[in-house]
Amino acid sequence: MTSGGKTRWLIWVPLAAFAILFVVVATGLMRPSDTTVHSTLVDKPLPDFRLDPMVPGKPGLASADFGQGAPRLLNVFASWCIPCIAEAPQLMALKARGVAIDAIAIHDKGPAIADFLRRHGDPYAAIGDDARSRVQLSLGSSGVPETFLIDGRGRIVRQYIGDIRADQVDQIVRDVRAAR
Amino acid sequence: MSLLLVLLLAAPAPDYGNTQLPDPRAEAQARELMGELRCVVCQGQSIADSDADMAADMRALVRQRIARGESPTAIRNWLIERYGDYVSYDPPLSGATALLWATPILLLALGAWIALSTFRRRR
Amino acid sequence: MIAEAGLGALWFAAMLAGLQLLLGVLALRRKDAAGEQAMAAIGPVAIVQGALVAIAMAALIAVFLNTDLSVKLVAENSHSAKPWIYKFAGAWGNHEGSMLLWVTILGAGGALVAWKERTLDRATHVATLAAQGAIALGFYAFLLFASNPFARLNPAPIEGQGLNPLLQDPGLAFHPPTLYAGYVGLSVAFSFAVGALVTGQVGPAFARAMRPWVLGAWVLLTIGITAGSYWAYYELGWGGWWFWDPVENASLMPWLAATALLHSVNVLAARDGLRAWTVMLAVVAFSMSMIGTFLVRSGILTSVHAFAVDPRRGAFILALLGLYIGGALALFGARIGQVRAGRSFAFVSREGGLVVNNLLLSVILGIVLIGTLYPLIAAGFGVRLSVGPPFFHAAAGPIALVLVAVMAVGPMLRWRQDQAEAVLIRMLWPMVAAAGTFALLLTLGGGMSVLSLLGLSFGVGLVVASVLPMTRRNWRRTPLPIWGMVIAHVGIGVSMIGMACDSAFTAERLVALYPGQATIVGPWRVQLDRIYPNVGPNWSALGAKLTVARDGAAETLRPQQRFFTDPPTTTSESAIATHWDGQLYTVLGQQDAATGRWQLRLWWKPFVTLIWFGGIMIALGGALALFGRWFKGWQQRRREALWG
């Protein structure tokens, strides 16, 4: 390649391309990385579903149970999930403050759930049997535990990923109140 | 659609997470789709290559829906509705991905331009 | 004690790298006695630097072999019950250790150049060593200040945390060293290019001096990638061999650049053409290596292969990248004008074909780079997306096919000028072979994807085109580098055929069986005889005894599920039966709690081994070319010594 006329500027293209990529990558590095996968159904209606009961004496769960005028929490959990044990006290505290909580249990069996409830408390009005995670997938949830706040009109308002911490309880109560 | 979902959940089905569909053509369709869907709990694997439980659940979902005659596109869109574009390894054509899909064309054009100027100068 | 010695050696090596740079600058700027002394000293300094960093690496390996738990790295990554081979290889099975390996090869490369490189003019040789020292300095700093492998832990724990079981495999002993030797070996080419830009001496002599280093690194990189692909294939348990994962792409991108470079350097050596291309590609190749290192260790991209992530380390490496790549590219822009153009050539000519070759490889490189970085770019705009195989196949696949066609015709082109019609006639048989394969495959039906169909046909065409010129030559008189080219090109064709066959003809069977039951996959009958427990040095396992039979001939396969305690993980060890026409790949899955049946995953993959066999052929071709030239040079020197 000669250094003549038209293609003179071509030799600076690689440096320019590198400079652009450098800036892009540097800003990417400085941004706090969020690797959790969020559901994209927030602000959308709750998808239809109907699940069988898991434990005797407690009804199963259907989408029709939501959107009856009052906001409710939908907790995705399992008896084999360790962080679910950690958040159980917080769920009990929420129930004590008047928040209605339902649950779906994924990949689980009735006796194991009954045992879990016996040991860690039972804040749930209803528990649905989501043995093959179908409803979990239809909600855009990607792990346990997760909690969805559904408002009185049946719209998903917020998604809380991970176990609920003690310092989150007040905020959640406020969110529930605001979601009427 | 909601009726379909209710039926899906009511009827007992084989565990399609680790079993193939009986129809080979449907299975091939399902396999191709599974290779293009991202496992949302893994560090960068498709659901076809992952040991994770959720990946098996997603495979079961894909196979069941293919067996019911849904198109791969519909299934992919259903998942994208719930997890975002992140769940598809095939980036959809949109404003955000315009630059990505244009890259091969742009680079080829640049390459052709370099080639032409290299050879034109020589003549 | 050993750890402190290693750290001390590392510090010394770093100081020598700085000295190397200083001596180089001195030697090039001063024409007096001081400059002369600097010029004489830089070689020995580079050699001692290489020796010292090798000592540091040896110290780290020793500390791992002894399971010295007072060293933090050993405590976090090793375990006393681990087999010794994984203690040894585990030294580089983590971020700090592999970074030390990286820097060891960097130093060794410089030492080797100082010791063995004799044909380059003095000034460029010195500039090359100075550049190598400059690069080493930055990465020594990274190691010493941000990734110290020899940090101590006080008090020392009773036991280590163990090595990720996926890494406890012979592949760990083989894949990283060869990969890094290739990957980081390209730094020598980078330093050569920087050196030549500084002194302005870009010509055939420069190319001939640089060529063996490029070839050597490229051969090792090819082996490293091939080994990595095969390791992932048998280790991960799903039969995949390439995932377009960011870390895999990080090794592919330097390979693409190095392939273009090695062709370009040949043109420069033989015909004094493509001067700017060669220098640019040498800079780009190692730049890709450095970018790859950054991607793997900064945590900005999710990957199964990524090391423990830390954005601060990422920022450090990014700064080094800015310095070295930015500096080299700026130097290129400023100085390439000084380099006069080489000899001219027509479009239809071997040089022309190689320009097209370089362009196509660069385009593929660009596509892989943008595809890999795009999720990061999109995240900057708040969009979360994934870019995977569908994009890379669609975008790079067609261009790769065109490249294969160019590869087929290239060796048939004459230098400087050729006739298009004559070339087409020479390509007759390859085109017939490709078209014939295409037609045959269509009649077979079976719903092959377009890419597999074309890939197989083009692969056959390439093999025919590469072998054809050899039929007219005297085999014993043909120089080894020509053999090398033929074998390497045939290797690419063979590899493509393997890839297409795997994609199109794999038969899969996912079943749950009771012991005693059997199933069919492809032409094989697979029977689950029994499930039995098994025990290893640091694992326990459940194994399946499978009797597999085809056309009456039976053999036994034993896939396993292994349970490790440090760290607590389960891995599945696949059992593979390799035959001339493919592999039977078997994996034992979970037991179904409800029915008690055992999950089995079975694949019959016809001709899948061609993928890696082709890879070995490619490396072999390069090695032959390397050896052939070295041998010729050795014969020449001997002749000169004998006959005066």
Last residue within a domain, chosen from C168, C200, C220: C168
Give Cα separations from C86 to A38, C64, C78, C605 (angstroms): 39, 9, 9, 30
d(CA C327, CA C194): 10
Amino acid at C54: A
How does pLDDT run across C416-432, given as a tens digit for each residue? 788 888 888 889 999 99
- Contact with chain C for residue A1, Cβ under 8 A: yes
Buried b (16+ CB within 10 A) or exposed e, B26-53: bbbbbbebbbbbbbbebebbbbbbbbee
Q: Which CATH architecture has domain A50-178?
A: 3-Layer(aba) Sandwich (3.40)
Smallest CA–CA distance, residue C251 to chain A, in Å, is 18
Q: CA torsion angle for B31, B32, B34, B37 (degrees, to 10)?
A: 180
Average pLDDT over residues A104-132: 93
Interface contact flag, B36 C363, Cβ < 8 Å: no
Name the residue of chain A whose CA is nearest to B17's CA: A132
**Chain B residues touching A134 at Cβ < 8 A:** 5, 8-9, 57, 61
Of A12, A26, A33, the CB nearest to C333: A12
Write down the pLDDT at residue C321.
95
Buried b (16+ CB within 10 A) or exposed e, C505-543: bbbbbbbbbeeeeebebbebbbbbeeeeeeeeebbebbb
Interface size B-C, in CB pairs within 8 Å, comes to: 121
- Clarify whether residues C54 and C138 are in a common domain: yes
Non-local (6+) Cβ contacts of B70 within 8 A are none
Q: Residue C198 above 90 pLDDT?
A: yes
SS3 C212: helix
How does pLDDT run across C579-594, given as a tens digit for each residue? 999 999 999 998 888 8
Q: CA torsion angle for C133, C7, C176, C245 (degrees, to 10)?
A: -80
Interface contact flag, C330 A22, Cβ < 8 Å: no
Q: Residue B103 above 90 pLDDT?
A: yes
- Clarify whether residues C583 and C615 are in a common domain: no
What DSSP string describes C348-414? SSHHHHHHHHHHHHHHHHHHHHHHHHHHHHHHHTT------HHHHHHHHHHHHHHHHHHHHHGGGSP
- Contact with chain A for residue C376, Cβ under 8 A: yes
Give percent of chain B above pLDDT 70.
85
C253, C377, C383, C590: which to substitute to probe chain A, counting the most A Cβ within 10 Å? C377
Q: Is residue C45 part of a domain?
A: yes
The DSSP secondary-structure symbol of C475 reads T
B113, B118, B121, B123: which to substitute to probe chain C, counting the most C Cβ within 10 Å? B118
How does pLDDT run across C484-540, given as a tens digit for each residue? 999 999 999 999 999 999 999 999 999 999 999 999 999 999 999 999 999 988 899
- Please give the mean pLDDT across all residues of chain B: 86
Of B18, B89, B119, the CB nearest to C347: B119
Write down the pLDDT at residue B11.
41
- The angle at the Cα of C506, spanning C503 to C509, to the nearest 5 degrees, equals 135
d(CA C413, CA C508): 44
Write down the pLDDT at residue C336.
87
Residues of A with CB under 8 A from a CB of B: 1-2, 4, 6-7, 10, 37-41, 47-51, 107, 132-140, 142-143
Q: Is the preceding omega at residue C567 within 30 degrees of 0, hence cis?
A: yes
Name the residue of chain A whose CA is nearest to B41's CA: A142
List A129's β-bridge partners, or say none: A105
C16: confidence class by pLDDT, cuts 50, 70, 90: very high
Name the residue of chain C whose CA is nearest to B44's CA: C303
Of C347, C378, C509, the CB nearest to B96: C378
- Structural domain tally of chain C? 3
User: Phi, psi at residue C16, to the nearest 5°?
Assistant: -65, -35
**Chain C residues touching B107 at Cβ < 8 A:** 362-363, 366-367
Give Cα separations from C542 to A78, C164, C237, C512, C538 (angstroms): 27, 19, 15, 16, 14
Give percent of chain C above pLDDT 70.
99
From C643, C495, C619, C628, select the one nearest C182 (Cα to Cα).
C619
Interface contact flag, C302 B91, Cβ < 8 Å: no
Spell out the domain ranges in chain B: 2-92, 93-123
Average pLDDT over residues A20-35: 85
- Contact with chain A for residue B100, Cβ under 8 A: no
ipTM comes to: 0.89
Write down the pLDDT at residue B14.
67
Of B5, B86, B114, the CB nearest to A37: B86
- Contact with chain A for residue C311, Cβ under 8 A: yes
- Clarify whether residues C481 and C497 are in a common domain: yes
- Contact with chain C for residue B118, Cβ under 8 A: yes
Q: Residue B8 above 60 pLDDT?
A: no
- Clarify whether residues C486 and C620 are in a common domain: yes
- Identify whether the C-beta of residue C59 lies closer than 8 Å to the C-beta of residue C3: yes
Of C314, C329, C332, the CB nearest to A29: C314
Query: For residue C328, what is the enclosing H or E element?
Result: helix C311-335
Interface size A-B, in CB pairs within 8 Å, comes to: 69
Of C304, C508, C510, the CB nearest to B44: C304
- Contact with chain C for residue A35, Cβ under 8 A: yes
Distance between start and end Cα atoms, chain A: 71
Interface contact flag, C347 B91, Cβ < 8 Å: no
Of B6, B54, B87, the CB nearest to A48: B6
Q: Residue C476 above 90 pLDDT?
A: no
d(CA C244, CA C303): 10
Interface contact flag, A6 B54, Cβ < 8 Å: no
Q: Residue C195 above 60 pLDDT?
A: yes
SS3 C78: coil
d(CA C432, CA A141): 54
Buried b (16+ CB within 10 A) or exposed e, A28-39: bbeeeeeeebbb
Last residue within a domain, chosen from C147, C168, C189: C168
- Contact with chain A for residue B106, Cβ under 8 A: no
Instruction: Note if the pTM is more than 0.90.
Output: yes
Non-local (6+) Cβ contacts of B23 within 8 A are B67
What DSSP string describes C110-138? HHHHHHH--SS-HHHHHHHHHHHHHHHHH
- The angle at the Cα of B6, spanning B3 to B8, to the nearest 5 degrees, equals 110
322-351 of C, contacting A, C-beta below 8 A: 322, 325-326, 329-330, 332-333, 336-337, 341
SS3 C519: strand
Q: Residue C30 above 90 pLDDT?
A: no
d(CA C391, CA C404): 20
Q: Is residue C556 part of a domain?
A: yes
Write down the pLDDT at residue A1.
44
- Contact with chain A for residue C197, Cβ under 8 A: no
**Chain A residues touching C275 at Cβ < 8 A:** 1
Smallest CA–CA distance, residue C587 to chain B, in Å, is 12
List A158's β-bridge partners, or say none: A149
3-state SS of chain B is CHHHHHHHHHCCCCCCCCCCCCCHHHHHHHHHHHHHEECCCCCCCEHHHCCCHHHHHHHHHHHHHHHCCCCHHHHHHHHHHHHCHHHECCCCCCCCCHHHHHHHHHHHHHHHHHHHHHHHHHC
Non-local (6+) Cβ contacts of B116 within 8 A are none
Write down the pLDDT at residue C308.
66
From B3, B28, B5, select the one nearest B78 (Cα to Cα).
B5
| Percent of residues in chain C assigned helix, strand, coil, to nearest 5 | 65, 10, 20
**Chain C residues touching A132 at Cβ < 8 A:** none
- Contact with chain C for residue A137, Cβ under 8 A: no
- Contact with chain C for residue A11, Cβ under 8 A: yes
- Clarify whether residues C20 and C119 are in a common domain: yes
Residue numbers of the domain that contains C584? 507-606
Cβ neighbours, 10 Å, residue C81: 15
Smallest CA–CA distance, residue A41 to chain B, in Å, is 6
Buried b (16+ CB within 10 A) or exposed e, C546-581: bebebeeeeeebbbbbbebebeeeebbbbbbbeeee
| Percent of residues in chain A assigned helix, strand, coil, to nearest 5 | 40, 20, 40
- Identify whether the C-beta of residue C520 lies closer than 8 Å to the C-beta of residue C526: yes
Of A3, A24, A30, the CB nearest to C337: A3
From C35, C18, C19, C37, select the one nearest C27 (Cα to Cα).
C35
Tokens representing residue C504 in the block: 């199109």
- Identify whether the C-beta of residue A52 lies closer than 8 Å to the C-beta of residue A60: yes
Last residue within a domain, chosen from C168, C196, C230: C168
Q: Which CATH architecture has domain B2-92?
A: Orthogonal Bundle (1.10)
Non-local (6+) Cβ contacts of A128 within 8 A are A49, A51, A52, A53, A54, A60, A61, A62, A102, A103, A104, A105, A135
Q: Is the preceding omega at residue C481 within 30 degrees of 0, hence cis?
A: no
Interface contact flag, A1 C341, Cβ < 8 Å: yes
Of B86, B100, B115, the CB nearest to C384: B86
Q: Residue B6 above 70 pLDDT?
A: no
Spell out the domain ranges in chain A: 50-178
Write down the pLDDT at residue A46.
93
From C406, C393, C390, select the one nearest C499 (Cα to Cα).
C393
User: Phi, psi at residue C349, to the nearest 5°?
Assistant: -165, 170
- Identify whether the C-beta of residue B45 lies closer than 8 Å to the C-beta of residue B39: yes
Q: Which residue has the tokens 């005659």?
A: B69
Smallest CA–CA distance, residue A140 to chain C, in Å, is 15
- Clarify whether residues C466 and C591 are in a common domain: no
Interface contact flag, C336 A31, Cβ < 8 Å: no
Tokens representing residue C619 in the block: 């490396």
**How do beta strands A101-106 and A124-130 pair?**
parallel
How does pLDDT run across C156-165, given as a tens digit for each residue? 888 888 888 8
Q: Residue B108 above 80 pLDDT?
A: yes
- Clarify whether residues C542 and C483 are in a common domain: no
Cβ neighbours, 10 Å, residue A180: 10
What DSSP string describes C232-275? HHHHHSS-------HHHHHHHHHHHHHHHHHHHHHHHHHHS--H
Name the residue of chain A whose CA is nearest to B39's CA: A142
Task: Provide the edge-to-edge strand list for the sheet that holds C575-579.
Answer: C507-513, C598-606, C582-591, C575-579
d(CA C47, CA C26): 18
Of B20, B50, B91, the CB nearest to C385: B91
Tokens representing residue A105 in the block: 């249990």
Kindly tell me the burial class for residue C251, based on how many C-beta atoms sit within 10 Å of its own C-beta (0-12, 13-18, 19 or more): buried
- Clarify whether residues C539 and C448 are in a common domain: no
Kindly tell me the burial class for residue C242, based on how many C-beta atoms sit within 10 Å of its own C-beta (0-12, 13-18, 19 or more): middle
Tokens representing residue C433 in the block: 């072979």
Write down the pLDDT at residue B4.
52
- Contact with chain C for residue B102, Cβ under 8 A: no
Interface contact flag, B83 A10, Cβ < 8 Å: no
Q: Which residue has the tokens 């500084």?
A: C198
Smallest CA–CA distance, residue A132 to chain B, in Å, is 6
How does pLDDT run across B37-63, given as a tens digit for each residue? 999 988 889 999 898 889 999 999 999
- Contact with chain C for residue A82, Cβ under 8 A: no
d(CA A50, CA B9): 7
